[in-house]
Amino acid sequence: MKTPGLRSPRASVGGIVYFGRMLDKIRLHAEGKLGPEYIENLGSAFDERILSFLHVTYDDVIGQVKNGFGDEEILEWAFTNGRKPSVEEVEIWNDFMIKRGWNDAGTERLIFRKKEAGFENRDDIQTMFAYIDADEEIS
Task: For the chain, give every domain's residue range.
Answer: 9-84, 100-139
Please write the tens of the pLDDT for every residue from 65-109: 999 999 999 999 999 999 999 999 999 999 999 999 999 999 999
Beta-sheet strands, E only, within the chain? 12-13, 16-17
Average pLDDT of the chain is: 96
The pLDDT > 70 percentage for the chain reads: 99
Please write the tens of the pLDDT for every residue from 48-71: 999 999 999 999 999 999 999 999
Q: How confident is the model at residue 2 (pLDDT cuts 50, 70, 90)?
A: confident
For CA atoms 100, 101, 106, 109, the dihedral sign is positive
Residue 60: other Cβ atoms inside 10 A:
14
In this prediction, residue 67 carries a pLDDT of 97
Please determine, for residue 116, whether its predicted confidence score (pLDDT) is greater than 80.
Answer: yes
Please determine, for residue 1, whether its predicted confidence score (pLDDT) is greater than 90.
Answer: no
Please write the tens of the pLDDT for every residue from 7-26: 999 999 999 999 999 999 99
Residue 16's Cβ-side half-sphere holds a number of Cα atoms within 13 Å equal to: 28
Helix (H, G, I), strand (E, B) or coil at 121: coil
Residue 139 has what DSSP assignment?
Answer: -
Beta-sheet strands, E only, within 15-131? 16-17
For CA atoms 15, 17, 22, 25, the dihedral sign is positive
Torsion angle in degrees (nearest 10) through CA of 70, 72, 74, 77: -140
